[in-house]
A and B are shown apart, each in its own frame.
Chain A
Amino acid sequence: GENVEQHPSTLSVQEGDSAVIKCTYSDSASNYFPWYKQELGKRPQLIIDIRSNVGEKKDQRIAVTLNKTAKHFSLHITETQPEDSAVYFCAASIGGNQFYFGTGTSLTVIP
């Protein structure tokens, strides 16, 4: 089955700096890649997603890039703010609603 690896496991940045989280996947048939944010004690929430027919997608300070050849995708957060502190999960799907998640990145934004 699909295997998703996520790096780094922890990330600390100064407020205003950028943060980048990277994920790789193993199954070339994966074609949908969502990113979820989970604040402490709360449920995961979708923040952005990308499909395999697109190389990049932006939503305000958040962007995701996809390299199908290398089978990796990344989350970019610019101008980080303290409220961006959370655990971020990447995921991959080859179809339907079967998702394979990365192990998460704990992001801390230092004021």
Chain B
Amino acid sequence: GNSVTQMEGPVTLSEEAFLTINCTYTATGYPSLFWYVQYPGEGLQLLLKATKADDKGSNKGFEATYRKETTSFHLEKGSVQVSDSAVYFCTLKAGGTSYGKLTFGQGTILTVHP
């Protein structure tokens, strides 16, 4: 079956530091890839997505590139802010004729200090 493995946390950074959260996946067919974010006390919301190989998703200064050759979708941000403190989930959606079932990584807690 499909699976997602993401970097274990928690990750603690100072403001303006560079962020990378690694994510690799195993899937059959052609999945779509997403990063969801959960801010403290809030529900999950989409951060960015990429639907095919070599696509780059970007939003709020975050980027991730769909790498089929390495089955990866690492999340990066050049300069984090305190407001980026949240839990980040790498997510795979089965593609092709599959059901569209979502598979989540275990989540990475990010804390950014001033």
A binds B: no
